[in-house]
Amino acid sequence: MSGNVKLSLLVLLFFLSSCAGGGGISRSQCGSEQDCNHHITYWQNAIDAVVQANFPNEKFNAIVHYKDFKNAWVTTGRNINITALLLDTLNFNQMVAVAAHEIAHLKISSSNHLEVDQVGVDYLIKTGMHKKDFLVLLYWMQGYCMENHDDSCSTYYTYLVRIDNIENSMSDTDWRLALPELESLLKIADADRKKAGGGE
């Protein structure tokens, strides 16, 4: 892929959750019982998509936290945690990509993002999705962290390395699938920046 296209993608303001910890807030603080149930069901469905394709005899638990940041993480046991703010931001494919990454943390007992990303992508592919879905998620989180300076985020450098690792593993066919979506996200991010007063 050309250097110019790759460089333009690196400025894309659009991620995967880094896996920071954090305590939960009780369900009573989610606004309404309907909101609670919707979030938990939606997140459980994303987790189950990964589990059924990879570990059909296992069960992982969806835990939703009502905090003022966007992230996902794992704890001991089989709990896969996410914040409602992140759930409300992602589409379902992105949520499945997050779930695949978080389950990989538990399965290989590693905090090395490069190792976990590769295993997570393998899980994602078995669901019938594509590694481009994970790449788009990485670009999204990199942009979110750049814009919001969120303490729960990995460093910008960490995202560059993770993105580069996935990009280097992609074939020409992978890129043909990924580029339209990445270019669309770049336009969305640019429009959002202008709307917020960022200018050119």
Q: Given this model, what pLDDT does residue 13 score?
A: 28
Q: Given this model, what pLDDT does residue 148 score?
A: 72
| C-beta separation of 81 from 24 below 8 A | yes
pLDDT tens per residue, range 142-159: 887 777 766 667 666 688
pLDDT tens per residue, range 62-115: 999 998 888 899 987 899 999 999 999 899 999 999 999 999 999 998 888 889
- Of the pLDDT bands very low, low, confident and very high (cuts 50, 70, 90), residue 9 is very low
pLDDT at 164 over 80: yes
Q: Given this model, what pLDDT does residue 76 score?
A: 77
Nearest to 135 by CA among 154, 159, 110: 159
pLDDT tens per residue, range 30-68: 667 777 888 999 999 999 999 999 999 999 999 999 988
Q: Is 95 within the bounds of a domain?
A: yes
Q: Is 200 within the bounds of a domain?
A: no
Per-residue exposure over 142-160, b if at least 16 CB sit within 10 Å of its own CB, e if not = bbbbeeeebebbbeeeebe
Name the phi and psi angles at 112, rounded to 5: -75, 110
Q: DSSP for 5-70, please give it.
A: HHHHHHT----PPP--------GGGSS-HHHHHHHHHHHHHHHHHHHHHH-TT---EEEEE--SS-
CB-CB neighbours of 188 under 10 Å: 13
pLDDT at 10 over 70: no
Q: Given this model, what pLDDT does residue 20 score?
A: 36
Of the candidate ranges 26-30, 80-84, 178-182, the one whose mean pLDDT is the lowest = 26-30
Q: Is 66 within the bounds of a domain?
A: yes
Q: Given this model, what pLDDT does residue 19 score?
A: 38
As beta bridge partners, residue 62 has 80
- Tally the domains of the chain: 1
CATH number for the domain that contains residue 174: 3.30.2010.10
Q: How far is the C-alpha of 6 from the C-alpha of 164, rounded, in Å?
A: 10
Angle between helices 113-126 and 33-54 (to 10 degrees): 90
Q: Residue 94's domain spans which residues?
A: 3-195
